[in-house]
Homo-oligomer: A and B are copies of this chain.
């Protein structure tokens, strides 16, 4: 995770949550008061966001001590003491919510990803994320997917070629679109084509697409497509995969399954900070 980017996200979040300081603490807590506390897991899942929490408190006050007992990717059970913190009360109380919001969100994504990965662990298939991310948090969310054991699809429109139906319409045919992309896109990028029928799969194959996405197909259709492709291209299953039977999809032989819900429909992992003054 890029430190500069993380710092900018945190600066935005802290400005949003405490742009003029934490009034309540400033009014009720004596300057210089020292406190200690523990970050506790209240649910079951996968930790993600330790660096984000560290960066929040480092941003506010370089004298805060924050010691993690678990690291990103570790499984958590209710009651686990994730980390211990000590230092100036104003700094800790000012950063508490921002640190928790980030860590809960990222851990929620890592947990959901881990569940998907576990479900299909008997198949040689990768779980992928999508671009259905929260505006401003994509880098953190894609990091959380990796921590959960998933893989990242392209980061943005600028670093991958994914030819969808609109591009196909605009170019006239899959063949035209793939040919155009091969001539003009950076030669370091693979070319992926989205298909909805076996006929489209065949056309993408003929055009020598590097990756073929099977969009919203039934399990039967996916099996046929995988057979047809015969390892001549990478195969990605896509379309509402958050609500599908992932094992059945994996069993079709696809190489990867992309799931928008990993980042689009996040159930945060419940983490709290218990303080002692």
Segment of A66-74, A178-186, A221-229 in the binding face: A178-186
Contact: A19 with B5, CB < 8 Å? yes
Q: Mark A62-84, 1 if CB is under 8 A from B, else 0.
A: 00000000000000000000000
Contact: A189 with B23, CB < 8 Å? yes
Residue of B nearest to A9 (CB): B135
Contact: B18 with A186, CB < 8 Å? no
Cα(A208)–Cα(B119), bound, Å: 30
| Contact residues of A: prevailing secondary structure | mixed
Cα(A246)–Cα(B160), bound, Å: 30
Q: Mark A127-165, 1 if CB is under 8 A from B, else 0.
A: 010011111111100000000000111111111111110
Residues of chain B within 8 A of A156, CB atoms compared: 16-20
A248 within 8 A of B: no
Q: Mark A24-43, 1 if CB is under 8 A from B, else 0.
A: 11111110010100000000
Closest Cβ–Cβ distance, residue A72 to chain B (whole Å): 12
Cα(A126)–Cα(B185), bound, Å: 12
* Band of interface residues on A: 35 or more
A195 within 8 A of B: no
Q: Which of B16, B176, B276 contacts A136 (CB 8 A)?
A: B16
Contact: B28 with A180, CB < 8 Å? yes
Residue pairs across A and B with Cβ atoms less than 8 A apart, 10 shown, are: A12-B136, A16-B138, A17-B131, A24-B161, A24-B167, A28-B170, A89-B170, A154-B188, A155-B159, A265-B267
Q: Which residues of A contact B (CB under 8 A)?
A: 1-2, 4-5, 9-30, 33, 35, 59, 89, 93-94, 97-98, 101-102, 104-105, 126, 128, 131-139, 151-164, 166-167, 169-171, 176-177, 180-181, 183-190, 192, 210-211, 234, 255-256, 264-268, 275-277
